[in-house]
Amino acid sequence: MKLLSIVLQAAPAGGATGGGGSMMSILMIVLLFVIMYFFMIRPQQKKQKEVQKMREALKVGDRVIVAGGIYGKLKDIDTTTNVFTVEIAEGVRIKVDKASVFATNDEATATR
């Protein structure tokens, strides 16, 4: 019986202070998500848009770098299937997906 009376007396005191602590926790979590958005998600979205614009601006004859680090020259662009034909050596042509072209040769040499 003594234990039950001690628990009942302590319950109102703990409940009154618990409400403010949970609100502060929620605010901290929201603040964390806002910080993550502005420092991680938003810059990545901007970069993806820039890469997409670069891919749209490519034309036959441009020098490109493919995902595997292969340097080549665009010989054909198939807009219906999003496939590029890239010449990597004299008479050697490969077909690659549009998404695997990461940079033009000019952009790659400028970042070195």
Residue with tokens 């602590």: 21
Residue range 59-111 in CATH 2.40.10.10? no
- Name the residue ranges covered by the structural domains of the chain: 1-57, 59-111
The 3-state DSSP class for residue 44 equals helix
Q: Supply 75's token pair.
A: 């010989």
Q: Could you count the other beta carbons within 10 Å of the beta carbon of residue 101?
A: 21
Which is more confidently placed, 6 or 106?
Answer: 106
Residue 53 CA to chain centroid, in angstroms?
16
Dihedral sign of CA atoms 37, 39, 40, 43 in order: positive
Q: Each residue of 51-87: pLDDT tens digit?
A: 889 888 899 999 999 988 999 999 999 988 889 999 9
Q: How far apart are CA 100 and CA 112, in angstroms?
A: 20
How far, in Å, CA of 98 to CA of 70, rounded? Answer: 14
Residue 99 corresponds to which amino acid? A
Phi, psi of 41 (to 5 degrees): -75, -50
Predicted TM-score (pTM) above 0.75: no
